[in-house]
Amino acid sequence: MHLSRRGLLTGGVVLAATALAGCGGDARPPVTAADIAPPTEPVTIDWMAPELLTNDGKDLRRSLVRAFQKRFPNITVRLVQVPPTTDVRRTTLTTQIASGAVTPDVYLGDCAWPAQFAHNSLAMPLGRVADDEEFWSGYPEEVVSSISYQGQVYAFPCYLDLAFLYYRADLLDKHGLEVPATWEELRRTALRLIDTGDVRYGLVWQGMSGEPLTCNVSEFVADAGGALMDLRARRVRVDSPEARRALTFMTELVSEGVSPEAVGTFAEEQTLTAFAGGQAAFLRNWSYAWGSANDPESSLVAGKVGAVLRPTFEGAGTERHSTLGGWHNFVNPHTAHPGAAVAFARWVAEEEAQTLMAATSPYLPTLSAVLDNPRIAGPDKPTNRLSADAAIVLRPFGSPHYPAISKAIYTDVNRLLVDGADPGAVGDTLTEMAQGMALARDGVAL
C-alpha cells in the first residue's frame, strides 16, 4: 500500500456538528458548529508540544505560533511545559484530561494515540471525513485512517514520519560497493565494511524494549510479506512463516555481528549517536535523522551520508516498507475555548503552516501538495522525495488497546534479542507474542 496522494486542499473550514462525548459513555450535549467557530474576542490557549527544531536550530513551534497569530490576532497561543518522553506524556495527558482539566487546550500527540484517546473521551471528535471531504482529500489516506475512530476524526495532521535507511556514501564509494537493495545484500556489505576496519558496526536500529522496536518488527514482517494483525486490528496474524523469517533475520543480525550485541538497549538516540559518530555503516531511523547526520556541528559524517527507502528481502517483491509515524494536534474535549483550539489545530494542518514547516525544518509535511513539491523543501532533502514511493505499514493502532498490543510485541522481541539472539528461539517467541497480543486486544492488562 503506497502512500496515497489526494487532491490539493482548497476547501473551506466548515466542521460538522460534533459531540464532545467520546465513546466512553459521556452524556454531555453535543458541540455545534457555532461553538467551534473562531472567537471574536481575545482568547489565550495553551499548546502542549515538544520542541521542534528548524534546520538552523531554532524553535519551529514559535515560528508557527507567530505566523498563526498574524492570521488570528485575537488568539494568543502559549507554549506549555512538556513531559520528557512520549510514554510519560501520554500518561500525563491521560490522567490530566480524564480528571476534567481544561488545559492544555491543544496537544501534539503520537499517531498511535487516536483510538485510545477517542475511546476514553480524551480527545474532541472533529467531525466525519465525509462531512468535509474536500479538506481531508488533501492528506494521504493512511494518515486520515490513522486519526479516525468509529467514523469520527480525532486530530488534525501536523507532520508525517517515515523510516529510511541512511548509509555511509563515502565508504561505499571507497570500496566500490552498491547501495544494498535487499537485506541479504546489506548483511554482506556491512560485514565487509566491518572487516575493512572503517566501521565498528554494520547496521544500527532500535531494539530497546519500547515502541520503536514495534515499528522495526512491523517493518521487517512486512518486508517478508506478513503482517502483525489484520487491518481492523482484530485478528492476530503474527505466528506465521513470514514473521518467522523476519525475526530470524533480526536475531541473525546480532548473532553474526552485523548489529551490535547491545542493540537490545538502543533507542533512536543511541543509534543516531553511533552513526553520526562514524561507528556504523548503516542506520534505520526517521526523517529527522537526515538533518542530524549532516549537521557539521554534531556529526562526524556530515556530507558523507546518503538516504534510501529501507531494503526488502530477496524474492519478496519491490515494495519498500516504512511504518507510519508522525504527530498530530488533538483538542482537549474540556477546553474552555473550543473555537480557538480548533482554529489553531486546523491551521497547523493547512497549507501556510505546512509550507513553513517544509521550508524551514526536517519534518515531513502531511499535506500532500506540500510534501510533493520539491521547490518548497529544496533539493537537499532526499527524504521528502523518497517518501512518495514508500509502502506504508500501519501498526495495529486502530485498536483502543494498542499500547498493550505493542507492549506484547516489543517485550517478547526484546527478550529474544537480549537473551542471546538465538534464531532457534524464534518459534517460541512468536507463539508467546501471539498469545500476548490476543489478550491485549481483548482488553486484558499485561
Asked, for residue 2, whether it belongs to a domain, the answer is no
**One domain, residues 180 and 191:** yes
pLDDT of 380 reads: 75
Same domain, 190 and 301: yes
pLDDT at 384: 85
Cα 265 to chain centroid, rounded = 20
For residues 291 and 197, membership in a common domain is answered with yes
Query: Which of residues 363, 388, 413 is at a domain's end?
Result: 388
Residues 382 and 425 in one domain: no
Judge if 421 and 436 occupy the same domain: yes
- The answer to whether position 224 is within a domain reads yes
Choose the final residue of a domain: 388, 408, 433: 388
The domain boundary residue, chosen from 364, 388, 412: 388
One domain for residues 297 and 252 = yes
Question: Are 187 and 129 found together in one domain?
Answer: no
Relative to beta strand 280-286, strand 201-204 is parallel
Do 427 and 347 fall within a single domain? no
The confidence score (pLDDT) of residue 57 equals 82
Q: Look at residue 30 and tell me if it is in a domain.
A: no
> What DSSP line would sit under 79-115, residue for residue?
EE---SSHHHHHHHHHHHHHTT----SEEEEETT-HH
Q: Is residue 147 part of a domain?
A: yes
* pLDDT one-digit tens code per residue, 18-38: 333 333 444 444 454 446 788
So what's the pLDDT on residue 6? Answer: 36
> Do 211 and 315 have their domain in common?
yes
**282-293 as b/e: b if 16+ CB within 10 A:** bbbbbbbbbbbb
Residue 34 lies in a domain: no
Does 77 fall in a domain? yes
Give me the domain span that covers residue 262.
163-324+396-442
Q: What is the CATH number of the domain that holds 215?
A: 3.40.190.10
Answer yes or no: do 140 and 248 share one domain: no
- Asked, for residue 24, whether it belongs to a domain, the answer is no
Q: Are residues 205 and 315 in the same domain?
A: yes
In a domain, 11, yes or no: no
Residues 145 and 242 in one domain: no
What the block records as the C-alpha cell of 317 is 517483491
User: Into how many domains does the chain fold?
Assistant: 2
> Which residues of the chain are modeled with pLDDT < 50?
1, 4-30, 32-34
* Count of all residues that appear for the chain in the document: 446
Tell which residue, 342, 396, 390, 350, has the closest CA to residue 157: 350
pLDDT at residue number 362: 85
